Structure 1
Amino acid sequence: MSYINNSLKILNTFNLKVNVYKVFIIKNLQKLCQLWEKYEKKCYPCLVLGEGSNVLFLNNFYGLIIFNRIKGIYIRESKKYWDLHVNSGENWHKLVKFTLKSKIYGLENLALIPGRVGSALIQNIGAYGSSIENFCKYVDVIDPISKKIKRFNNKDCQFKYRDSIFKHKNYKKYVIISVGLFLSKKWVPNLKYFSLKHLENYQITPQKIFNYICNIRKKRIPHPKIYGNAGSFFKNPCISLKQGFKLLQIFPNIPYTLQNNCIQLSAGWLINQCNFKKYLYKGVTVYSKQSLIILNKFNNSLGIDILNFAIKIYNTVGNKFDIWLEPEVRIIGNYGEINPLIYFKNKK
């Protein structure tokens, strides 16, 4: 366990100058439970984070923040599968690199996604035609007060696009401690995402897909040490077939995919049509190479400035297209997480 100062400046990728009452980095489960129990008894709110890569702090946090560094990767194999048991404090990208080095393939499409394994499950991370739900066998969680451990199988987790049961109120009392992943020994490249299809013409390998995706992400997503950001701020919206085909008649160039009787649109394209690349609000703007990324451009903006900028995007896109974007980033207030959807709806 390490105690660090009360500033979260270097511990959130938006580079916001916010403080916290107490912040700890922990490396074992026993210490996590001890800290949680101690500060909850004092009526302080408690929050567990991985790398602060998908959160927006509106202001100072009046409680305890625990950064999870409980590590460990354990491998078993059967005739057809590799089974990995991974502790939640492992860095996600380093896990992907580890599997490739170990000749265990399948996670390469999820390369260079920031954060830790635990937060990856909460968010159901996904990229380039793949998501963690495709490989998740189970998730182990603990109630830090009762110290009871519970296992959720894949179906129990209720994975959806950038969503899982762990994002919902009744399950926030749990802390994810480990995940079971299964990866087939018979590797089949996942090239269904449109920007990967051209790779079908090459002698493709898992390492080549990994390298290609890393290069794309480095070009499209700015490093948070240069421009504070949390990657994609909004989810790509899914709308009904009726609304989608009607919209395509008016805007035939909208990028879209068909998904389970709905049409998923590119949120970045919608934002780009509203000229936000020319808009700067209190040091906040969208990234020139990807409008879905909101930047703390000079690393001196406030959390509320970023939120107000996002609300401006929400209303402008909604009024132009009648599509109301849903935030992907978790919004944190003085005492805990704020439901972003409700917050944005109240600002229409």
Structure 2
Amino acid sequence: MIICKNSLKYFNTFGLDVNAFKIITIKNISELYYLWKENNQKLIPYIILGSGSNVLFLNNFKGTVIINRLKGILINETKNYWNLHVAAGENWHQLVKYTIKKNIFGLENLALIPGCVGSAPIQNIGAYGVSLKNFCKYVEILNFSNKKIIRLSYKKCNFKYRDSIFKNFYIRDYAIIALGITISKKWKPNINYKDLNHLNFNTVTPHEIFNYICKIRKNKIPNPKIYGNAGSFFKNPLIPNKLGFQILKKFPNLPYIVKNNNLLKFSAAKLIDECNLKGYMYGGAMIHSKHSLIIINKFKATSNDILNLAIKIYYCVGNKFGIWLEPEVRLIGTVGEIHPSIIFYHKDLKINI
């Protein structure tokens, strides 16, 4: 167990210089349970982080930040599948690289997604036509109240677009400690996504897809060590067909995808672009010039700078299109996570930031 200084600057990819009452890194389940028990008994708020790649600290945190560094990758091979058991503190991209090196192919589309393995099922991470749910066999969680480990099957995780049961049920008094991944040995390239469909299905290799996606992401997404960011700030909106086609009558040039559950998926980046917000700045925060879904810490931005810029995006898109974006980034207040609806909810309000 490692106790750090109070600054969270190096524990959130926005690079915000906010503090916590205490920051402790854990390396085994016993330490994790002990910390929960201590904080729970003393009524001290706590949150568990991996790399802080999908959080926005709105203020200093008046509790304990637990940094999950549970490590270990176990591989079990059957005739048709690779079965991986991966500890929650492993880095996701390093896991993808590890599988490629081991000639275990399938995760290449998910290359360079920031964060740790433990956060992957919370968001049901996805990119370039592939989501974690395509490979997840189970998620192991620790029930702090009785110290038991529960293995939830894929079906019980309730995976949806950037959503899972871990966002609304297994929140308090539980911690994700491991992820089970199953990968078929019969590899087929997944290149249906528009940025990949120029690749040749019959000749492309997993290594080529991996390298190509890394190149795309490095070009689109700024290095958080240079310009702090949390990747896409908002989700791509899913709109019921009836409302979606009404919007398209008014804005026929908006790109969209028809989903099989009577929904239309719109590009949040395109909606933001249509509001002429690319490159817009508020304080030290800026909408990235190459990808408008990304808010960057351009110059010593504060939490307030980033939040107000996100609110600007929310109302500009909402007032123009009638589409109210939902944050993908988790908002952390002084004592814990804050539901976005508490901040992003005045749909009839017109502001001028």
**Equivalent residues, number:** 347
Q: Which residue of 2 aligns with 1:102?
A: 102
5 Å-filtered alignment, 1:238-277, equals: 238-260=238-260, 261-277=262-278
SS of the aligned residue for 1:103 comes to coil
| Distance in 1 of aligned mates of 2:124 and 2:341 | 18
Contact in 1 for aligned 2:56/2:332 (Cα 8 Å): yes
Which is further off, 105-114 or 242-251?
Answer: 242-251
5 Å-filtered alignment, 1:164-203, equals: 164-169=164-169, 171-200=171-200, 203=203
- When the two structures are superposed, what TM-score results if normalisation uses the length of structure 1? 0.97
Which is further off, 143-152 or 130-139?
Answer: 143-152
SS of the aligned residue for 1:63 comes to strand
Contact in 2 for aligned 1:32/1:144 (Cα 8 Å): no
Q: Which residue of 1 aligns with 2:296?
A: 295
- Alpha-carbon distance, 1:145 to partner: 3.7
| Distance in 1 of aligned mates of 2:44 and 2:187 | 48
Structural RMSD (CA): 1.3
Q: Which residue of 1 aligns with 2:79?
A: 79
Which is further off, 140-149 or 4-13?
Answer: 140-149
Contact in 2 for aligned 1:16/1:302 (Cα 8 Å): yes
- Alpha-carbon distance, 1:242 to partner: 2.1
- When the two structures are superposed, what TM-score results if normalisation uses the length of structure 2? 0.95
SS of the aligned residue for 2:56 comes to strand
- Alpha-carbon distance, 1:253 to partner: 2.5
The CA deviation string for residues 188-229 of structure 1, in whole angstroms up to 9 with x for no partner, is: 100111111000267200010000000000000001111111
| Distance in 2 of aligned mates of 1:110 and 1:180 | 16
5 Å-filtered alignment, 1:108-147, equals: 108-147=108-147
Q: Which residue of 2 aligns with 1:163?
A: 163
- Alpha-carbon distance, 1:346 to partner: 4.3
- Alpha-carbon distance, 1:185 to partner: 0.4
| Distance in 1 of aligned mates of 2:130 and 2:271 | 23
5 Å-filtered alignment, 1:14-25, equals: 14-25=14-25
Asked whether 1:35 is paired with 2:35, we answer yes
Contact in 2 for aligned 1:50/1:116 (Cα 8 Å): yes
Q: Which amino acid aligns with 1:265?
A: F
- Alpha-carbon distance, 1:278 to partner: 4.5
| Distance in 2 of aligned mates of 1:123 and 1:46 | 20
Q: Which residue of 1 aligns with 2:339?
A: 339
SS of the aligned residue for 1:213 comes to helix
Contact in 2 for aligned 1:19/1:60 (Cα 8 Å): yes
The CA deviation string for residues 314-338 of structure 1, in whole angstroms up to 9 with x for no partner, is: 0110010000000000000000000
| Distance in 2 of aligned mates of 1:170 and 1:28 | 20
| Distance in 2 of aligned mates of 1:229 and 1:170 | 27
| Distance in 2 of aligned mates of 1:89 and 1:279 | 35
| Distance in 2 of aligned mates of 1:70 and 1:107 | 21
Q: Which residue of 2 aligns with 1:152?
A: 152
| Distance in 2 of aligned mates of 1:138 and 1:201 | 30
The CA deviation string for residues 71-121 of structure 1, in whole angstroms up to 9 with x for no partner, is: 110111111111111111110000000111111111000000000000011
| Distance in 2 of aligned mates of 1:130 and 1:100 | 16
- Alpha-carbon distance, 1:252 to partner: 2.8
Q: Which of structure 1's runs of 4+ aligned residues deviate more than 3 A?
A: 169-172
The CA deviation string for residues 211-263 of structure 1, in whole angstroms up to 9 with x for no partner, is: 00000000000011111110000000011222222322332322211112211
| Distance in 2 of aligned mates of 1:169 and 1:294 | 29
| Distance in 1 of aligned mates of 2:279 and 2:215 | 26
Question: Structure 1 vs Structure 2: percent identity of aligned residues?
Answer: 59
The CA deviation string for residues 256-298 of structure 1, in whole angstroms up to 9 with x for no partner, is: 1111221100000001111112421111120000000011111
Contact in 2 for aligned 1:221/1:231 (Cα 8 Å): yes
SS of the aligned residue for 2:200 comes to helix
SS of the aligned residue for 1:252 comes to coil
| Distance in 2 of aligned mates of 1:229 and 1:51 | 12
Contact in 2 for aligned 1:276/1:285 (Cα 8 Å): no
| Distance in 1 of aligned mates of 2:149 and 2:54 | 26
Contact in 1 for aligned 2:21/2:61 (Cα 8 Å): yes
Q: Which residue of 1 aligns with 2:67?
A: 67
Q: Which amino acid aligns with 2:293?
A: L
